[in-house]
Amino acid sequence: MVSDEKIIKTVFTRYRLGNVLIWLGVMTWLPFIVLRIAGEKPSLFWFLPFHLIGVVGGSRLRSLARKEMGALAPKKNLLRVIGHGLIYIGILVWAPYFYLKLIGLQPVDVMNYLPYHLTGVLSGILFLGLSYLIDRTDALKA
């Protein structure tokens, strides 16, 4: 028989595994960066699948675990909307890169797009973090 405690542990394990996958997806780029600093030109396509599997898979796993825990979705506010918008823009920066690289068959340097991607994603995460802190502070006051 499966106890409630075992189910709860499984859900928390799934949530933690989601966090680990996200971090592994982000850290996938460390060897890429090291190779770039060393003067090599590694292919983006060797690292991108692992990055996407980690980040997208981990966030989906975390989201499913939150639903299973019965955690309420964070309330919408301006900071969250701005944060998600910046993340989407940071991801969409890659559309022209992949268009030029795969369809236009032009030589394109990944470093021309990476700063914009990181600026969008990291500033979006900053806004989401601010929203979380404000919500958390308000909840503690109440």
Residue where one domain finishes, among candidates 72, 95, 122: 72
pLDDT score recorded for residue 93: 95
Is residue 83 located within the same domain as residue 59? no
Give yes or no for residue 24 having a pLDDT over 80. yes
More confident residue, 7 or 82: 82
Counting the structural domains of the chain, the total is 2
Is residue 1 scored above 70 in pLDDT?
Answer: no
Q: Of 72, 89, 107, which residue is a domain's last?
A: 72
**pLDDT tens by residue, 56-100:** 999 999 989 888 888 777 788 999 999 999 999 999 999 999 999
Does 107 share its domain with 83?
A: yes
Same domain, 63 and 87: no
In this structure, are 22 and 47 located in the same domain?
yes
- Give the domain range for residue 111: 74-142
Q: What is the model's pLDDT at position 2?
A: 58
Radius of gyration in angstroms for the set of CA atoms belonging to the chain, rounded to a whole number:
19
